[in-house]
Structure formats: C-alpha cells, structure tokens
Chains A and B, each alone.
Chain A
Amino acid sequence: MSEIREVIINNDRLATDEYLVNMGPQHPSTHGVLRLLVRLEGEKVLNIQPHSGYIHSGIEKMCEAITYPQIIHLTDRMDYLSAHMNNEAVALCVENALQVEVPDRVKYIRTIMDELARLASHQLWWCVFGMDLGALTTFFYGLRDREHILDIFEETCGARMTVSYNTPGGLMFDIHPNFQKRVKDFIKYFRTKLPEYDKLLSGNVILKERTEGIGHLSLSDAIAYGVTGPSGRASGFSCDIRKHLPYSAYPFVKFNEILDLRCDTYARYEVRIKEMYESLNIIEQLIDNIPEGDYAVKMKGVLKLPEGEFYQRVETARGELGVFIVSDGKKNPYRVKFRSPGFSNLFALNKMTKGHKIADLVAIMSTLDLIIPDIDR
C-alpha cells in the first residue's frame, strides 16, 4: 500500500500499461487503405505510426515508359477527387516546358472545372466528416448535392471522377452546349444548400465540443511538415498557389484566400466550408465570360520535351501538388516525381494527435482529408 502511495506522489500518476492497437488497412475511418499503429495508454494516444504502401502502384515508374499525354490518365488515379487539378498540373508542366501558350478559352474552362472539382471534393469531405463523427445524415446530403457536379462532368468529359479532360495543349474536346446552363443552375441550387450544411453542423454544440482545441498544429509546425491546403491554411500558413503563383484563369478572378489562426480541427472544418463559398464565387465570375476560340492548340504527334527539369505547382483540394519532370530530350520522361499533398499532411498526424483520445484521432484524420492513393502513388 505504501509502495502505491509512493508511486503516486513521485510520478503523479499510477503506472499503467501501454498497448498497441492496429487501425488496420481496412477500416471505416481511414478513408482508404492506410494502416495506423497506435500506441495507447488507456484512452490517450501516445504515438501514431502510419504504415502506407497498400495501394502503391508505381505510378512514377510507369511514367518513365509512356509518353507525356499518356501520363494524364495515370494522374487521374492519384488524388481521384481532384482529378482535374492533377491533369492540369501535368498539362501545364508540359506546356510551359514546350513554351506553348493555350488560348483563353482553355484557361477559363480549366479553372471552372477545377473549382467544380474542388467543390465536389469538399462536399465528399463534409459528408464523410459528419459520418465519422456520428451525424450519419450528412453523408446523404453531401452525396446528393455532389451528384449534380458529377452529372456535369459526365456530360462534358465522359467520366464522373477520373476525367482525363486536360491534355498538353488544351482540352480533349470542347464543352457540351449544355455546360454553361447546367453550371449556372447548379450554382443557384447549391447556394441554397450550403447554408443548410452550416446550420446542420457548424453551430452544433456537440460538434464544437468534439473539435475545438483538438489537433493543434502550430504555424511553424505546418511549415516544417509541409502541410498545405486547407489544413495548413487553418494554421495560418498562407500557401494558396492560386494566389501566390497563379496559373490558368486565376489571374482574372477576384477571390479570398481563407486563413484561420486557430490551428485546431474546428478551424480546418471552417476553412473548407468557406472555401466552398469562394469556389462558387469564382465559378460565377467566369461562367458567363468564357471567350470563344479553340479548345486546344495543335501539338505535334509525338511530344519531346527539351532537356532539363520542369516543375509545376497547382492547388488541389488537398493542398499543393507538384509535378517535377526531368527530361533527357526523348519522348518518354526520364523521371517524373509527384509531390503529393497527402504525403506531407499524413506525417503531421502524429504531432497533432499526441495526448488526445482515440475518438479525437478519428476527428483529426477526417479533417486532414487524406486520400490514400495520393500518398502512396
């Protein structure tokens, strides 16, 4: 008895056993095949070790054997919710390397498609976030509204998710005649639904209790770990490539970069909701003014980039995607590297979750918005 007393006085707590729990590759909350080895002490998380590679497909190696337009189809499958942005990154990299200027029509359409993809991605994030926290109804609301965007994609690009619409030189084909009308109808419809999302979750006291103060990631940590996208902006890290290094039609639009200084899970949630409003604003500014013109520049049949290294940065729904092409003058690239946002975001998870409880781990991972094929490539 006196031994126990001594332990309590000296260590300030009873020694309890730590145990390892495996949140295995198949799991409702890890949004993909990711294995987390969690070291717990009671309910408290001490350490998290991610084990990835379950969906590693060797995309970078494959790119060394195919031609530049063929890389587009592989990039669809990396971060499949931002397929447009991935395609655009490769297309822009090749166009800049070959110093090809695409017509304005292409730029406008690319940006509108980007913002639609960002909306669709954030909608899916929102519905899964609610579901992870137990508000099961949000799953249906988010998906119901996302169907409108997917229908627009299907009509114009032929596919709902893996669109492969951009190509070096422009677009694969022109937009469907219905495109503008459908997008305008969608914006009108969604502007009535987005406040519903806010009302359902944002002010809810249970949600605030579960997310405020949880998963703190300071600004210096965000920069050190390279956490970009809405997760980084919620820590005050101003990293929006659309603002700092604008591409396509972003120089022509006015929009705000949403920054939040609270650094916690609730801030990451709010940033994404506000980004959805901003995306709607951007589309509204562009949709009526699409210039007439060609939908692509005529490129050579076989594209050969000059020798050298070319880097292109775009802002996907998750963060900063970088496409780095090392070319030796042949028709296949020498080395392609995709700097994926999920890769850097994932490894900040350990820092954010130390000391919190198991239930908080789910909330934090949900707001990091990880897509595992993006991490594993």
Chain B
Amino acid sequence: MDLYNFTTLTHDIHVGLAKSFSPFLATTIEWVIVGVAYLTFVALFGLILVYVERKVCAAFQQRLGPMRVGKWGLLQTIADFIKLLMKELIMPRKADKFLYNIAPFIVIIASFLAISVLPFAPGLQSLDFDIGVFYLTAVSSVGVIGILLAGWSSNNKYSLIGAMRSGAQILSYELSVSLSLLTMVVFAGTMQFSAIVEGQRDAWFIFSGHLPAVIAFIIFLIAGTAETNRGPFDLAEAESELVAGFHTEYSGIKFALFFLSEYINLFIVSAVAATVFLGGWMPLHFGNFESFNHVMDFIPPVVWFFMKVMGVIFVIMWFKWTFPRLRVDQILTLEWKYLLPINLVNILLMALVVLTKFHF
C-alpha cells in the first residue's frame, strides 16, 4: 500500500539546495525553512484552535458564538490578536525584570521543542529520535519552569500562590502522562515515533492493545487535560475569586504568548494521544480486510492525522464545558491516590499481555 511519502519531497529540496549552495549554507537554509514552517503552523493552528474553542463552547451552551467579524466569525481571532498586540505592556514595579520578560518565552519554547518530534505524515517529521517518547516527556516538563517564573517574578502574592498550585498540579500529572505513554511503549517495543506509527499499520494500538491500552488512553486524556491547566483542572487560572492565575500581571503580547501556549499544549497532548493510541497518520486498517484497507487509504495521511487530533481536542473541550471544577486538594488526591496506582497496575497488565502475546 503506497501512501505518499514526504521523504521524496524533502530529499528533492535537500538535493536542490546542495547543488546551488555550500553544504553549510544549505543546512542553514533548511533550518530556516523548517523553523518558519513550524512558526507558521503554530501561529495558524493556535488561531484556529481559539476559534474552534469559542464555537464549540457556544454549541454546548446553545448559542452561536462569534458571528460578526468575517463570515461566521472566522476573522474573530485575528481581530483579537491584533488587539492584544496593540495593548500597553505594563510591568509591575519591583517585578524581577529579567525573569518577568523571559517567562512567556520559556513556555513557548517548551511547546516548540515538543511539537518538533510529532509525525504529521510519512516523512513529514523534523526530528526522529530513537528515544522519541522519552524526549517528549522530558521536554514537556520545561514548561513548568516558565509558569513558576511567571508567578514568582510578578511580585504578587496571589500570582505566586497560583503558580505554585499550577506547578504542583503539572508536576504530579507528568507522572501519569509518562507512565501511560510507557505502557504503550511496552506494547510497541520501541520509543521511536515513526516506528510506533508504522507498528499500527495493521490496527491502531487502542484496538490491538484492548484493555490495558484503553485504560492507558483514558488516563492519558485525564492527565493530559490536567497538564494543560484546562477543563475541570483549571483551578490555577479560573479561581479568580481569590487567587488570580499566574499570568495576571501580563498584558499584550506576553499574555498572548501564554494564551497561545495553552492552546498549543492542547494540540500537543491531542497529537500525542492520536499518534500513540490512535495510529498517528496511519489510516484505519483492520488486519486482513484488504479491500477495506484499500478504501481507507484514499484519504491522505495528513487528513487522517488532523481528523484524529481534532477528535481528541473536541473530547477535551467537551470536558471543560460540562464539568464543575475540582478543588486543588482533590486534584492532587486524584493523581496520587487513584491514577498512579491504576497506572502501575496497568503497566504490569500490559507487560503480561505482551509476554503472553494475548493481543491482536
């Protein structure tokens, strides 16, 4: 089955550049191309996700959402972004200038680092490490530093409390995220993302790994939502009665960066879920049904990938607009007393499944 492989395209570009320029210049130009591509993608997708959130939220609340700016409100996010860019940048007196300025950038950098290993289509992956999953979990922890710095440097009692709460929450749920990904690594036998996706050629892991994979998926969804400070776990930013979030003192473009990074993190969590559990860019195949598989292959892999990602994003948005908020001690109890033990037992279960080959 021939799915279009982007490696041909990238190879052609590389050869073309190498012919015209020196090797050093060619590599630099390639870096620039990749960087610009990612920046464009992140910016564009961030805007799209904000718009999608507003429309989905409106649908749940039985109203229409933005409708006036552009047809169906499509230009709403752009208008909001222009407004944010034009706002005055206020810095509190006695705030730690260096840390205050650098905090939003750290958060964005962490998102970029994580997004660079995700496979969008065969060959369309900028970094393909052997230890892809491990790298991803390591790098997503860098964002916490940005949050804590933002809270600390604002010189505001409540920002600090909010940042500490948020930091504690993210650090706790890192464990659950890593362990549920580890379960699937045990199943796949490799940490490399492209190999994980290849391994789902016959069936997605969530089907072939039956019970332990489903449990791992559910835990990953819960922990992923908590990682991004969203949904029922948004205590740090929505508990605005006493403790305003860690990004209270930020305005204008810096606030826009925090805001954007939240949606990009949402994308990353969904993309990882789609890649590791739902097959990434791999179309839906069922083992030996050749005709079915052939039909499924007509939809390009990129479209498959984005369909899955949008599906998971929709489910995460569904949580946010339906459930009440958890209190901070309940959030931590959920992680340490429930999710972690379930996760550990699940890994054992998956190991048993792999050893006894009790899977599809």
Contact = CB atoms under 8 A, between A and B. Distances in A.
A137 B58 CA distance: 9
A15 interface: no
A29 B242 CA distance: 10
> Taking each of B239, B323, B328, which has the highest tally of chain A beta carbons within 10 Å of its own beta carbon?
B323
A359 B241 CA distance: 9
Interface in B45-76: 57, 60-63
A192 B42 CA distance: 44
A268 B60 CA distance: 27
Contacts of A201: 324
Contacts of B322: 135, 137, 200
A130 B238 CA distance: 14
Give the interface SS of chain A, mostly helix, strand, loop or mixed.
helix
Interface string B299-323: 0000000000000000000000111
Contact of B326 (A21, A136, A209, A360): A209
Given A134-B234, A200-B322, A210 B330 contact: yes
A372 B327 CA distance: 26
Interface string A297-321: 0000000000000000000000000
Interface string A28-48: 110000000000000100000
A334 interface: no
Contacts of A43: 328-329
> Taking each of A43, A130, A141, which has the highest tally of chain B beta carbons within 10 Å of its own beta carbon?
A43
A23 B239 CA distance: 13
B241 A134 contact: no
B321 A210 contact: no
A28 B238 CA distance: 11
Interface in B180-234: 232, 234
B325 interface: yes
Nearest to A131: B324
Contacts of A136: 57, 61, 321
Contact of A21 (B239, B242, B330): B242
A239 to B, nearest CB: 29
B324 to A, nearest CB: 4
A141 B325 CA distance: 18
A204 B330 contact: no
Interface string B259-286: 0000000000000000000000000000
A27 interface: yes
B63 A140 contact: yes
Nearest to B243: A358
Contacts of B108: none
A21 B326 CA distance: 22
B62 to A, nearest CB: 6
A288 to B, nearest CB: 31
Nearest to A358: B242
Contacts of A362: 241
Nearest to A130: B324
Contacts of B57: 136
Contacts of B242: 21, 23, 358
B329 to A, nearest CB: 7
Interface in A287-302: none
Contact of A359 (B60, B232, B234, B239): B239
A134 B329 CA distance: 16
A206 B324 contact: yes
A144 interface: yes
A133 interface: yes
A207 B324 contact: yes
Interface string B328-341: 11100000000000
B235 interface: yes
Contact of A204 (B60, B238, B240, B323): B323
B169 to A, nearest CB: 14
A357 interface: yes
> Taking each of A21, A206, A360, which has the highest tally of chain B beta carbons within 10 Å of its own beta carbon?
A206
B327 A357 contact: yes
Contact of A27 (B238, B241, B330): B241
Interface string A187-217: 0000000000000110010110110000000
A357 B241 CA distance: 13
Interface in A122-146: 130, 133-137, 139-141, 144
Contacts of A27: 241
A130 B243 CA distance: 19
A232 B327 CA distance: 26
A133 B324 contact: yes
B329 A210 contact: no
Nearest to B232: A206
B316 to A, nearest CB: 15
Nearest to B325: A134
Nearest to B158: A21
A134 B61 contact: no
A141 B62 CA distance: 8
A204 B61 CA distance: 18
Contacts of B323: 134-135, 204, 206
A133 B242 CA distance: 14
Nearest to B233: A134
B324 A359 contact: no
Nearest to B58: A140
Interface in A4-36: 21, 23, 27-29
Contact of A210 (B61, B63, B234, B324): B324
Contact of B238 (A134, A137, A207): A134
A143 to B, nearest CB: 10
Contact of B327 (A21, A139, A360): A360
Contacts of B243: 358
26 contacts: A23-B241, A27-B241, A130-B324, A134-B234, A134-B238, A134-B323, A134-B325, A135-B322, A136-B57, A136-B61, A136-B321, A137-B322, A140-B61, A141-B61, A200-B322, A204-B324, A209-B330, A210-B326, A357-B329, A358-B239, A358-B241, A359-B239, A359-B327, A359-B328, A360-B327, A362-B241
Please give me the 5 A-B residue pairs with the lowest Cβ-Cβ distance, nearest first. A134-B325, A133-B324, A140-B61, A135-B324, A29-B241
Given A21-B242, A140-B62, A141-B61, 20 more contacts: A43-B329, A134-B238, A135-B322, A135-B324, A136-B321, A137-B61, A137-B321, A140-B61, A140-B63, A206-B324, A207-B324, A209-B327, A210-B324, A210-B327, A210-B330, A357-B327, A358-B239, A358-B242, A359-B325, A359-B327
Interface of B: 57, 60-63, 232, 234-235, 238-243, 321-330
